[in-house]
Amino acid sequence: MILSERIARQTRTLLDNGKRIVCVCHRNPDGDAIGSLLGCGLLLRQEFSNRDVRLLCIDPVPESLCFLLSSMSIEQSVHLTSEDVILFLDCAEPSLTGIHHQYPHCFDQSWNVINIDHHVSNTRFGKVNIVIEESASTCEIVLALAAVYNWPLTCEIATDLLTGVYTDTGGLLHSNTTANVYRTVSALLRSGARHQLIVNSLFRMANMSMLKLWGRVLEKVTVSDEGAAISAVTEGDFRATGAKYSDLAGVIDYVNAVPGMRFSLVLSERDGKVKGSLRTLHDDVDVNTMAGRFHGGGHKKAAGFAVSGRLQSEMRWKVMSTDQVSAEEDSLPRSSKDEVDSSGGRGFGSETSFS
């Protein structure tokens, strides 16, 4: 992946002219958000050592990412002005930053904003937009930027960036794991990224409350008529298990593992909203479009949305006479008969709807 000379020059000009540099990632930050925020922030602190470089995320860093050394230096509030140059990392659209109401000038091209992201749904709100959809993570783009300007990587910066690469590719398992991802990983390891620290912190640690919440999600998986594996957790599930909202991340990969499913959906209630996470393993299913119907977005194979409201679970019973049952079974194609049998008989199903 090569950044165009024009973009590199425009980025450099904005950086040179900002009195102060502020890096911002999206709210409810994941590994790519925090990794790219820290990696980019530390690179800029190195390069512009005489300048104030601030790191902003309006939500706290999740516990699972606190192993990243400089995560303590991320602030939850920074007063922005027109003299700042502001870099947004991993933010597909203004509302995901959580500062869109307070600072509308960041998003109407009047302030000096650099938008670095890899989401297909990115709205190109910056004065300079470095949006590379083929990249598996924003961290991959930050590394490309560092390469363009010949900025040296420390072990810490490499560890920050590798964290984002790992989380957004599910540990190099997702279909977005391209040859360039491996090149990125190779460059980061050569710079001293602490691979085992990342793997152990992200993929080999789960507290009890998280395991109990995952248990509830897995127990409630149902298969919908359109071939989706769906599960849901309510505020009650979070309360009963003591799990945090962030503990839900990752469980969808298990729901998505049900063979033969077109896509998977995990719904969760949080703060008066219903959040949906969508995944698919199929090239011909576009979950980004599905999420778009609920004003969400993301990637073709992984996307999400949030709508105001709460979850309501409906258990439906249907009484059928023996004649009806045999007539209906005769009309079923072979494959769906198998599906019906494996789901435990007809006339009983559960459905989840949201409003």
Binding site for Mn ion (CB under 5 A): 32, 90, 138, 168
Measured from each CB, the residue nearest to Mn ion is: 32
HSE-up of 330 (CA within 13 Å, CB side)? 6
Instruction: Give backbone dihedrals phi and psi of 54, rounded to 5 degrees, phi first.
Output: -110, 150
CB neighbours (10 Å) of residue 231? 21
Alpha helices in the chain (DSSP H): 5-17, 31-47, 138-149, 155-168, 179-190, 195-203, 208-219, 235-241, 252-255, 287-292, 322-331, 334-342
Residue (121 or 138) nearer to Mn ion, CB: 138
> What's the min distance (Å) between Cβ of 297 and Mn ion?
12
Q: What's the one-letter identity of residue 55?
A: L
Residue (168 or 269) nearer to Mn ion, CB: 168
What is the distance between the alpha carbons of residues 355 and 335, in angstroms, rounded to a whole number?
Answer: 32
β-strands 228-233, 222-223 pairing: antiparallel
> What's the min distance (Å) between Cβ of 166 and Mn ion?
11
Residue (37 or 44) nearer to Mn ion, CB: 37
Residue (90 or 156) nearer to Mn ion, CB: 90
Residue pair 264/229 in contact by the 8 Å Cβ criterion = yes
> What's the min distance (Å) between Cβ of 331 and Mn ion?
46
> What's the min distance (Å) between Cβ of 111 and Mn ion?
23
Residue (160 or 168) nearer to Mn ion, CB: 168
First-last CA distance in the chain:
42
Residue (32 or 156) nearer to Mn ion, CB: 32
What is the distance between the alpha carbons of residues 215 and 296, in angstroms, rounded to a whole number?
Answer: 27
Q: Is 345 left (phi over 0), alpha (psi -120 to 50) or beta?
A: left
The CA-based angle 32-192-15, given to 5 degrees, is 55
> What's the min distance (Å) between Cβ of 262 and Mn ion?
24
> What's the min distance (Å) between Cβ of 232 and Mn ion?
24
The DSSP symbol for 194 reads: -
> What's the min distance (Å) between Cβ of 117 and Mn ion?
8
Residue (128 or 303) nearer to Mn ion, CB: 303
